[in-house]
Each structure stands twice: as structure tokens, then as C-alpha cells.
Chain A
């Protein structure tokens, strides 16, 4: 009995920590949605692009780790700048769906560019953190938890606290919220819309880079990252599109539920239910609480 409980705990904790990885991707979506009410479908591609660039800098040009990270982050700022200039500004007055489709196109562009520049083969990314159980926890608590998972959890926690504070207590955060609420009104009282957009897209790019590093260290830097990033969508639906705490809670729920279902129910169906379970979970959430756990209630006017 105790063993079973311990096993359950292990699955649960493993799932929760894996969920923080989804949260990291979801965070990028939330940042952009919160500040511009735009749904950025290319976030997954940004994750792939940024981490592939990071790996490329390190492995092809032998640039040291920290410098490569800074360069990759800078590259993401450039991507953000170009996106704001070339995609978002011309689509300022377009409908939500049009912008969404344009970001799907943007995702394609980024994926293609990344592969053209750095090749299609799977790259290994070594962060110096092993993906194996931490001995201390394994000995004392009898739980096998990967060091990488714990790092991802910590990184996610730090980023989320940081962003939360930024949104809540700084002038920039106030500006971001104002723009999200009503871009026209915000610009008429002198909030520089261009800078805000640039800032948000750059921040989302850096978040994508961090998420990409975590995923890349686990699964290798490869095209499948884009599909993994799609799983951030159910996370967003559960957490709510405009809530930073929602992104983390949603990620935790998806991670835990997915692992528990996979371990306890999966064997009856031949496994691999991880592939669709999050989406079905998201449908149930949509039916009962379409705005998500922490999202703002959507009111549509006629």
C-alpha cells in the first residue's frame, strides 16, 4: 500500500514538474495575449527557432554558453522587432482571426528559416543539468525526481514571479495592461504603443528561448518541439488566456492529469493517450468554464 502511494506520488510529482515545462511555453502566449489581445500561434515556432539558434551559435561557431544565450536572446528581440514592424502594424485594425492566421504564417516562416540556417538534424543540448533522479531526494523521500524537472520548475517559478511583479507593480506593466484593454484609448493618452509591442514580443522571445532550453535538454532540439508546444494551447484554455498564474496552474494540471492517465489508464488502450488527453480535458473545461480558471470573463457585445 505504502509502495503504491509512493508510486502515485512519484507519478504526480513527475507530472507536475513536467507540467511546468508546458507552463513555460504557455507563458509566452500569455504575455503577448495580455498586452495585445493577439493570439500568437507562432510561439511554438519561436521556441524552436530560438533554441536552435542558441545551439547553432554554441556548436557551429563555438561561442561560449553565456554569450550564445545573450546572442540568441538578442536575435529574438530582432525577431520581435521585425514582427511588430512587418506583421502586426499593418494588421493593426484587422480582425482577431486575421491576425491569428498571420501568426500561423509567421510560425511557418520561423520554422523554415531555422531549418534552412541550422539544418534539420536533431541536436543535443547539454545544460550541465542531468536528466536523472536527484540522489538526495531518492534517498530521503524515496521519490525519483529528475534534476532537470526541478530546474525547470524553479526557472518557471522565478520567471512567473518576475513577470507577475512586472505587470502588477511597474509603470510598464500598467501600460501593458492598458494597451491590452483598449489599444486606441491607451495610445491616445500617450502610451507608446510601438515600444510596448516591441517589449512584449521581445520578452515572449526570451521566454521562448528559456522554454526551448528546458525542452531541448530533455528531448533534443528538433522539429517535434513545435508539436510539443501545441500542448501549451490546452494549458492556456484551462488557465485562461490572460492570466500568468493561470499559465502555471494550467500547466501543472495538464502535466499531472496527463501523467496519471497515462500510467493508470493508458495500459488498457495501448498507451500514448498523452497525445490527446490534454485536448479532451481542454474541451471539458471549455464546456463548463470557457474563460479558464483565472481568465477574465469574455463578454461580447452585439
Chain B
């Protein structure tokens, strides 16, 4: 593939244009119901962003971490406090700084990764999950001494303009997600990402080739936590519109882990596919429950079934396609391409015979 513009190939540019046209022009013109924005598109973008964070540390660097929701909480509450206490910073500035604060936590809790790996690291990152949530819960300052437990998020104001309608919030999420996704792709393709992958594939070999384990791992954790922090802030301000530590519990961490693994480890588009699947599947299941069985099945049973199916899918993917849905998508494209080219050859042959 020859790069046409900077280091991007023609395929990259086509993909980007298609995605942009789809998300900026087609979706806003055709989808008018608020439900789609508030309950599907906005959480999808936020969770996909968090999943990219998880991908960086787990899919690219190969460190089993399970604390994404903790970093999201850190980002969300940092955002709340920054807007409250440092109003001069503005929305975008606060978003960046809250991401950086989450990144600081990421560095702190990523340090054990230098010594341990696998399940050991998972336990160490669980500490971050529980500690951050506890800290926010127990120190009133973070919640501005609000006793009700749920704080309403401030309105989003960028350059003096309010962004409060679902469509406007969708565009805010879209812009942030697009920029960060492009950045993540660049990092993954550049030397940074190659270092990550070298560490993932064989850390000892990577070290002996001059890749600094300390730098690479801490960097991965910091960037991952930055992504999670920004995603958490968007999640709280655009989707939940309220802040409560309970929203960022261990269940959300597991959800993001599932998005990451089912979507496809070590892929950026896998993060979007995985997030879409985990988010849309329960909606689909509920729709089936309501329309086909007309509510004859209890809602708790539906959510249990959903859990069983996620678990089964996880096992099936681990056995048959450990690279997840992104790989399935890739295979599908390959098959279509093969079919097309073979039919073209056939067509050429038959036309040649006719002559």
C-alpha cells in the first residue's frame, strides 16, 4: 500500500471519508428521534473510546488490566470539579486536564505491571478500581459535599455556546472520539505502537532489543487511562448527565473488557464493533422479549439470558476466533473480494469465448 497523503494509504482516506460522511451527514439527517442519540449513539461513542483505552493496554501491550471504569470515574469527577472550581479552563480544557488526571492514576496503578503479568496484574488493577471509587465516595470534596449521592452534571458550554440538545452532545462526543481515534491509530502504527506490540509478543526479547519496558508499559497505562478518563467524562456529562460513583462499578469494567475481547484484541475498529455489540444486543433482546413474547418473559430473566449469551460468546470466540469480531469482519471482506474478483475473471473469460 502506497501512502498518498502523509503516511495514510488511499484505503485509510476512503475509510475516514466514509465514516465522516456517515456520522456527520447521513446520521443527523435521517435519525430524528432523540432516543437514538441519548441511549445508543452517545453511549456507544463514549464506551468505544473507553474500549480503545482498554485496547491500548490489553490488546496492544498485552497487559491484563481490569480497571477501566475506575479511570473513567476519575476522569468524570475530575471534569466535574474542574468545571466547578476552575471555570476559566473551559470545556475542552477541562476535558484534557481530566484526562491527564486519570492518566496520573493510570501511571500509579500501572507500576505493578513492571513486576507482574497476567492474573497478578489483574488483581493489582482491581485495586485501582476499588480504591478510586472508594476515594470519590468517601471524601466529600470530590462531590462538592453533596449528600444526595447523585450530582447533576453541569451543562456543556464551548466558547460561550451551550451544547445541551442530544444532537449537539452527539457532535461533541463525535468530535472528541474522532480526534482520539485518529491519534490512537497513529500511535498504534508508529514506533509507539510497535514498542507496545513488541512488549506484548515477548517482553524479554523486546527488552534485549532496546525497548525500555518501564517506558513502554507506563506509557501504555498512562495513555490508556487518559482515554478512559476522557471517555468517563463524556459518559457522565453527555450520557448519564449525572455523577455517581456507583455508575462506574466493577460491572462496567467487565463490560469494557468484554467489548475489548469480543470486538477483537489489538484492533481499533474492534473497539467500535465490540461496544456496538454489547450495547445493542440487550436492546435487541428486550425488543424480542416485548414484541415476540409480549412481556411474557420477566425482565430479570432476559437480562440473565443476555449474561449467559455474552459468556457463551466469549468462550466460543476464545476457542474459534481469539481475535474477535474485527477478524470476522476482515474475513468477510476477504471472502466478498474473492467472490467479486473470481466472478470478474469468469466474466472476462466468457466474454472472450463469445468473441
Contacts and interface: CB of A to CB of B under 8 A. Distances in A.
A106 interface: yes
A290 B318 contact: no
Given A97-B64, A279-B130, A109 B116 contact: no
A118 to B, nearest CB: 10
B313 A286 contact: no
Interface of B: 62, 64, 112, 115-116, 118-120, 122-124, 126-127, 130-131, 134, 137-139, 202, 204-205, 250, 254, 257, 261, 300-301, 303-315, 318-319, 322
Contact of B127 (A271, A280, A300): A280
Nearest to A102: B318
B138 A112 contact: no
Given A112-B305, A302-B204, A286 B134 contact: no
Contact of B134 (A96, A241, A273): A273
Contact of A280 (B64, B131, B310): B131
Nearest to B307: A112
Given A102-B315, A120-B300, A282-B127, A108 B307 contact: yes
A269 B311 contact: no
Q: Which of A96, A108, A269, A286: most chain B Cβ within 10 A?
A: A108
Given A111-B304, A280-B131, 12 more contacts: A94-B319, A96-B118, A100-B118, A105-B313, A108-B310, A110-B311, A115-B304, A234-B123, A279-B126, A283-B112, A286-B116, A302-B204
B311 A108 contact: yes
A287 B115 contact: yes
B300 A101 contact: no
Contacts of B122: 233
Contacts of A287: 112, 115
A122 interface: no
B127 A290 contact: no
Contacts of B134: 272-273, 275-276
Interface in A46-101: 86-87, 90-91, 94, 96-101
A100 to B, nearest CB: 6
Contacts of B62: 97
A99 to B, nearest CB: 8
7 nearest CB pairs, A to B = A105-B314, A108-B311, A112-B307, A279-B127, A109-B311, A112-B308, A116-B304
A116 B308 contact: yes
A237 B318 contact: no
Instruction: State which size class the interface on A falls in.
Output: 35 or more
27 contacts: A39-B118, A87-B319, A97-B62, A100-B64, A102-B319, A105-B310, A105-B313, A105-B314, A105-B315, A108-B310, A108-B311, A108-B314, A109-B312, A111-B311, A112-B309, A112-B310, A113-B308, A115-B307, A116-B301, A120-B300, A276-B134, A279-B130, A279-B131, A282-B124, A282-B127, A302-B204, A302-B205
Contact of A104 (B138, B250, B257): B257
Contacts of B126: 230, 233, 279
B68 to A, nearest CB: 14
A115 B299 CA distance: 12
A162 interface: no
A119 interface: yes
B187 to A, nearest CB: 23
A296 interface: no
B305 A237 contact: no
Interface in A269-302: 269-273, 275-276, 279-280, 282-283, 286-287, 290, 300, 302
A227 B250 contact: yes
A175 interface: no
A237 B314 contact: no
Contacts of B312: 105, 109
B307 A279 contact: no
A280 B132 CA distance: 12
A275 B130 contact: yes
A276 B138 CA distance: 13
A119 B301 CA distance: 8
A108 B262 CA distance: 14
